[in-house]
Amino acid sequence: MTKSTRSFIFTVCTMILNIAMTLAIILFLVVLFFVPFFIIGKTPTSDNFIIQAGLPVIIVLGLIISLKLFTATTAGIIKLFHLENKLDEKIIRRYSKENRF
């Protein structure tokens, strides 16, 4: 198996992991956002300003958290399984410590 084939498989697997992680984080934040409404006993409605303003903020926050967590996780997987010499250099540089924000 060549480096480009391994890199392609790695990219597809990390893309699936990223999508699943993003959806899980956003779902967790949405549930965390709605729990206080149900504890108080007040059912949120769609015309409520807090819901209209809060959900876009939650989605953007979930995307940012997911991006940071995904980059750190992918770099850790590359280091844990010693994939530095098995993957393309572009992928290694993308997830290196210097390029993380």
The C-alpha atoms of residue 77 and residue 46 are separated, in whole angstroms, by: 41
The token pair that represents 31 in the structure block:
């549930």
Q: For the chain, how many structural domains are there in total?
A: 1
Q: Does residue 100 register a pLDDT over 70?
A: no
Burial (0-12, 13-18, 19+ Cβ within 10 Å), 80? exposed
pTM of the model: 0.83
Token pair 């997911």: residue:
66
- Structural domain boundaries enclosing 95: 3-99
pLDDT confidence tier of residue 15, bands split at 50, 70 and 90:
very high
Token pair 């303003």: residue:
53
pLDDT digits (tens, 9 = 90+) for 19-59: 999 999 999 999 999 888 888 877 777 677 888 888 999 99
